[in-house]
């Protein structure tokens, strides 16, 4: 929601009123809050995600599942759009503008992140105790919008980065580890007159390291279908 040329922000919230449950009575609890603000030369992403209860999709009843495994993460990112005069992040991801010609842009930015992992006793080789992880880092990438006729627009963006961080105590002592990151953004838009329909997806890939154990890769995805109506007030 927003006012064109004044302020616009996408706020997304999702949770399950009742725990998600499959046919084997395995349950998951989810809280996902996201906010995205797109400007001409800068856009900002912020999120809080809380997941509890994990299991293997195709596992057999005799194989372990991780009912008590939980993960929380908070992140704030700022990204600079190098070619903001020609490429519109607002058109691609916020639908408050319209991209009339194909264009792309290099992206540069940084972010700060906090993760907390509560292990499950059945998850071998990870860690026996919960831990928190703090990271700061930078990223760069490229995004491009293809304008297909007067109605359609497709956008693809890929960002790679490097974060430096560790568990909270080690981070404060400047004992840092390298954490590679990636983010993929996709958008498909059909626009007609003063309304449009869009499909968007974001795939966010992070990793954390416990003191004793293998690295944990955290992949968070967003899939969204939306209808936008522009009103003249």
Tell me the mean pLDDT per 10 residues along the chain, length 233: 51 55 66 87 91 70 68 93 94 87 96 87 66 92 95 95 86 85 94 88 82 71 82 69
Q: Residue 227: its pLDDT value, please?
A: 86
Region of 170 on the Ramachandran plot (φ > 0 left; ψ -120 to 50 alpha; else beta)? alpha
Q: Residue 132: its pLDDT value, please?
A: 87
Q: Residue 140: its pLDDT value, please?
A: 97
pTM: 0.81
* CB atoms closer than 10 angstroms to residue 228: 15
Q: Residue 77: its pLDDT value, please?
A: 94
Q: Residue 168: its pLDDT value, please?
A: 79
Q: Residue 230: its pLDDT value, please?
A: 73
């Amino acid at each position: 929601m927003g006012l064109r040329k004044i302020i616009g922000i996408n706020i997304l919230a999702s949770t399950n009123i009742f725990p998600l449950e499959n046919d084997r009575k395995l349950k998951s609890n989810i809280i996902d809050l996201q906010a995205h603000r797109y400007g001409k030369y800068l856009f900002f992403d912020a999120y809080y995600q809380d997941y509890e209860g994990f299991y293997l999709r195709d596992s057999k009843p005799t194989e372990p599942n991780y009912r008590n495994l939980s993960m929380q993460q908070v992140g704030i990112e700022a990204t600079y759009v190098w070619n903001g005069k020609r490429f519109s992040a607002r058109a691609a991801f916020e639908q408050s503008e319209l991209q009339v010609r194909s264009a792309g842009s290099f992206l540069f930015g940084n972010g700060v992140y906090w993760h907390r992992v509560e292990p499950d006793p059945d998850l071998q080789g990870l860690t026996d105790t919960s831990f928190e992880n703090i990271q700061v880092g930078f990223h760069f990438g490229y995004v491009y919008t293809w304008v297909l006729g007067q109605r359609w627009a497709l956008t693809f963006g890929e960002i790679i980065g490097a974060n430096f961080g560790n568990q909270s105590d080690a981070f404060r002592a400047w004992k840092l580890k390298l954490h590679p990151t990636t983010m993929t953004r996709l958008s498909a838009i059909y626009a007609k007159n003063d309304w449009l329909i869009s499909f968007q997806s974001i795939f966010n890939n992070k990793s954390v390291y416990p003191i004793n154990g293998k690295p944990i890769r955290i992949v968070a995805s967003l899939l969204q279908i939306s209808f936008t109506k522009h009103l003249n007030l």
